[in-house]
Amino acid sequence: MYWKKSKTAILKVNLIFFLSLNSFAGNLEKIIKSYKNEQYWKSCDLCEKSLSLYEKNSDFLNFCSLSCLKSGELEKMGKFASLLGKKASDRKNSVYFLTILYQKKLLLNSILDKADISFVKLPKTNYILSDIFIKYVKKDFTKRKNVYLFKDDEDPKITYKLSVQKMDGENKLFLKTFKGKILIKTRIY
């Protein structure tokens, strides 16, 4: 009798383990599908929910860092990027992602607290917030009330408006992109 109970318990545990593996694989499929459908916020959110399962997997961490970057979820991106570090390429990616997060933090600190960041030298990335950060540090902007206006280096019709606004009780950076007078994109960090 004991053997039957024990065997049944083992089968139940194995079945639960197998089903949980399939649900985790399903999460990875959902993460990738969301990314391919350009639902980066959803991919980033699913990554965060699955982090404890894959925190040692550098491919997962890199992928999730990129998903969160594309969604503008820089704080979440930082969680993944800070765990990268086994290989040289991972460390390089970690520096890239965390540089962008650091630039965001410095911009917020400077705008909200009037902190001088003119002495800060950080690498330039190909991410829009990095361009804005470098222009801000160089004081290459016009300020109207609490809005900072920046010109695009390549397209004279493109301008950016940076401001800080409260959202859900938190101070957020709002970066609005205009082509002429038409708003074409709003990014919230």
According to the model, what pLDDT value does residue 86 have?
A: 86
Q: Quick check: is 169 in a domain?
A: no
Return the DSSP state at 164: E
Question: CATH number of the domain that 69 lies in?
Answer: 1.25.40
Domain around 124: 2-139
pLDDT tens digits, 127-180: 999 999 999 999 999 999 999 999 999 999 999 999 999 999 999 999 999 999
Is 164 inside a domain boundary?
A: no
| 53 in any annotated domain | yes
User: Which pLDDT score, from 0 to 100, does residue 27 have?
Assistant: 81
39 assigned to some structural domain: yes
Per-10-residue mean pLDDT, the chain, length 189? 38 37 66 94 96 92 96 96 93 96 98 95 94 97 96 96 95 97 96
Q: Is residue 92 part of a domain?
A: yes
187 within domain boundaries:
no
**Is 104 part of any domain?**
yes
Count the domains in the chain. 1
Q: Does some domain include residue 170?
A: no
pLDDT of residue 26: 67
